Amino acid sequence: MDSEKAIMKTLNVALVGAGTIGRMHARHLWRAIDGARLHGVADVFADGAKACAEQNGGVRWTTDYNELLADPAVDAVVVASATATHPDIVEAAAKAGKAIFSEKPIAKSIADGERALGAVERAGVPFQIGFQRRFDPNFARIKQAIVSGEIGKPHIAHLISRDPGPPHVGPVGLGGGIWFDMAIHDLDMARWLMDDEAVEIYTQAGVMIAPGLEKFGEVDVAVMVLRFANGGVVTIDNHTDSAYGYDQRAEVIGSKGAISIDNTYPNNAVLSNAAGLHHSVPLPYFLDRYQAVYRDEIQVFVNCLLQNTPMQVGVKDARASLALAVAAKQSHEEKRPIKLG
């Protein structure tokens, strides 16, 4: 009976950050998540907070997230603010005793990450980090093939992530750049698919697309090679100006076979004529590819809270992915492999 009552409860969720990702989470929380509802929105920009709140049930809004954390009616917080603000907000939410879903990364430095995750551990609050690809049915099928033994022991994995549109030339500021906004997803996928921890990473990277980016300590192309404790090797290919759309592919080669996934396309029609074979380019934007998956990861977060079960992507994953992103950046800067663990 108690478990039935728990499942029937509706959680009040506060959203911090009303940018592109935050607005999407707000829509899902207001319209598409069972067992939860949007309770309030906070953003440092008043116009953004107000608009997001008005578009999603007219919930309360504020420019100070501490007002929402102080609200006893708030059960959980979704942190979707700028990358550099994550540690402070997560730490404050943990101290306020709220369950936390945080967009990746937890931080841009090991020290800030430990400060935030340490607060979560000391408070004992539920915590999920936002690696939405784990809930994508395509990547999940690769994981299933590995866990079931269909392809045997994984030996090599290739992960491709290429974003359309050139990067902004200027200080990264509150953002994360290629290492903490882009590569970190692939680094998490590498750990998840290999079901192991990396012991070494080596990066080759540079500026090929947006001249001047190097002045701000950033790059726009990168290739990473990871060696894992079990002997497996993973390569990651990141490019920030794909001319043909949002490119997300993966392949894992094992002792008994291999499995790969392709991009998502507007349609699967193939036109054949004298000039060759023609089909659509991939969907152009990451939200086109992962819209449903972003909803699903929040639903899983809510389900875990209502059913009092462990989070599927938690503190360990936030900590490990950050360590890999920091090491990837260090390898590029120091032009040498970096040992891990």
Q: Answer yes or no: do 54 and 177 share one domain.
A: no
Q: Answer yes or no: do 331 and 200 share one domain.
A: yes
Contact assessment for residue 168 and residue 198, using Cβ atoms and an 8 Å cutoff: no
CATH number at residue 122: 3.40.50.720
Contact assessment for residue 191 and residue 313, using Cβ atoms and an 8 Å cutoff: no
Question: Does 200 have pLDDT greater than 50?
Answer: yes
Location of structure tokens 């120091």: 334
Q: What is the pLDDT of residue 8?
A: 63
Mean pLDDT of 298-316: 98
Q: Answer yes or no: do 122 and 213 share one domain.
A: no
Question: Does 4 have pLDDT greater than 60?
Answer: no
Helix (H) or strand (E) holding 26: helix 20-31
Q: Answer yes or no: do 108 and 96 share one domain.
A: yes
Location of structure tokens 């094992």: 254
Question: Does 101 have pLDDT greater than 50?
Answer: yes
Tally DSSP H helices, then E strands, for the chain.
11, 15
The amino acid occupying position 90 is V
Query: pTM of the entire structure?
Result: 0.94
Structure tokens at 2: 């108690």
Q: List alpha helices for the chain, DSSP H.
A: 2-8, 20-31, 46-55, 65-69, 86-95, 110-123, 137-147, 177, 184-194, 286-307, 315-334
| Omega of the bond leading into 284 within 30 degrees of 0 (cis) | no
Q: Answer yes or no: do 328 and 181 share one domain.
A: yes
Residue-number span of the structural domain to which 249 is assigned: 134-285+321-339
Residue 334: other Cβ atoms inside 10 A: 10
pLDDT tens, residue by residue, 308-318: 999 999 999 99
Contact assessment for residue 253 and residue 193, using Cβ atoms and an 8 Å cutoff: no
pLDDT tens, residue by residue, 219-252: 999 999 999 999 999 999 999 999 999 999 999 9
User: In a 3-state reduction of DSSP, which class is residue 175?
Assistant: coil
pLDDT tens, residue by residue, 56-73: 999 999 999 999 999 999
Q: Answer yes or no: do 17 and 52 share one domain.
A: yes
Residue length of the chain: 341
